[in-house]
Amino acid sequence: MTTELRVAMIGHGFMGAAHSVGWRQAPAAFDLPLAPRMAVLAGRDAAKAAESAQRWGWTESSDDWRTVIERDDIDLVDIVTPGDTHAEIAIAALAAGKHVLCEKPLANSVAEAEAMAETAADAATRGVRAMVGFTYRRVPAVTLLRDLIAQGRIGTVRQVRASYRQDWLADPESPMTWRLDKDRAGSGALGDIGAHVVDMVQFVTGQNVTQVSGILETLVTERPLMGTSVGLGGIAGDGRGTVTVDDLALFTGRLDSGVLASFEATRFATGRKNALDLEISGDAGALHWSLEDLNVLNHYDATADSALQGFTRILVTEPEHPYVSGWWPSGHMLGYEHGFSHQVKDLVEAIASGTDPQPTFTDGLRVQRVLDAVERSGANGSAWMGV
């Protein structure tokens, strides 16, 4: 690696930590065509930005993202801020000639996502690339699942089931955070974790969601504010604040082929900490994956002798499996953080080769349109809505 790719990250917090690990580890695990350099971390609070930069290995910090993206010594902008700022930062960065990685969901509205996708398409004509961070695509078992469907291992897809269940809001006294404010987050469980399952279904099947029928529910409508002590995205103030997003989203979708898919996104599944599950049923078999056992892919071969049929547990840790060759010997497990290193690998390789990294902003817009259709359906008695 001889040519540097100088990176500025806008925002920090949980996703900032995950992205920092990705930028730090990818060059060590993979032979990259460009050498990422963690140049600047920018945040609204100068002291917190400086502390985060020192902790995660960024060379310097700033409290002015606008100045950072105009710098000649920055090549790529990584956006890990709340959704209400994605469009402004991404569009400005692309206009300044910087490559962009933007956390999901792409934006807080279809209109913002359309503007971002249009700007990214124009920037691509000048060799400037943009990618949205749907990181679960890059779990080796998920990529393998996609590959097996494409190879016809389960035949024609007949039904899809996807759910993402958490319980971090199950306590009604959990405090207000920006994720519970529609102006900042766009939506609740639907956009925060539902976006992941929509993208994963479209990614692994190679089909788009074309229609949806859904319902949204806010189970706790008020939560305590955090006084003067604000951390982890909390909202300052006394008393209680109003929750303006959904806690639970349930919806059915129809894919290009007419196949039905069921989706669930909830932050009230008591006992489920980060339970992302995906099952695809075909006329020749089925595939199942769970984030709670992320190194395992379960495959059912319906064409096998009936006496031998049953789900086979594939341990996705072999060097021939997607991404695994950069890591440990067979049987040594990968974790949540490795997907962010794989994200960096794919992004850097695409930039070096002059191709659009996947998923594109257009892919992010497609997910945004699904989320919007679910909201419209919920507001209209679960009527079917086109995407």
- For the stretch 73-132, pLDDT in tens is 999 999 999 999 999 999 999 999 999 999 999 999 999 999 999 999 999 999 999 999
Q: Based on the fold, state whether residues 146 and 288 are members of the same structural domain.
A: yes
Q: Are residues 31 and 61 in the same domain?
A: yes
Which of 84, 108, 136 is where one domain is finished? 136
Q: Is the pLDDT of residue 233 over 90?
A: no
A 10 A CB-CB count for 40 gives 25
State the CB neighbour count (10 A cutoff) for residue 77. 26
- Is residue 361 in some structural domain? no
> Is the pLDDT reported for residue 356 higher than 50?
yes
CATH number of the domain encompassing residue 99: 3.40.50.720
pLDDT computed for residue 238 by the predictor: 72
pLDDT in tens, 273-301: 999 999 999 999 999 999 999 999 999 99
CA–CA gap between residue 63 and residue 148 (Å, rounded):
46
- Where is 120: in which H helix or E strand? helix 110-124
What total of structural domains would you count in the chain?
A: 2
Percentage of the chain exceeding pLDDT 90: 96
117: in domain: yes
Quote the pLDDT of residue 237: 67
pLDDT band (50, 70, 90) for residue 239: confident
At residue 174, the pLDDT reads 92
**Per-residue confidence at 1, pLDDT binned at 50, 70, 90?**
very low
Of 264, 289, 291, 298, which Cα lies nearest the Cα of 275?
291
Domain carrying residue 109: 4-136
Query: 310-335 pLDDT, tens per residue?
Result: 999 999 999 999 999 999 999 999 99
Cα distance between residue 213 and residue 382, in whole Å: 5
Distance CA 128, CA 130 (A): 7
Q: Does some domain include residue 221?
A: yes
Residue 247 one-letter amino acid? D
Are 232 and 146 within one domain? yes
Instruction: Specify whether the backbone of 38 is left (phi greater than 0), alpha (psi in -120 to 50) or beta.
Output: beta
Q: Is the pLDDT of residue 229 over 90?
A: no
Residue 126 lies in a domain: yes
By the 10 Å C-beta count (0-12 exposed, 13-18 middle, 19+ buried), 170 is classed as middle
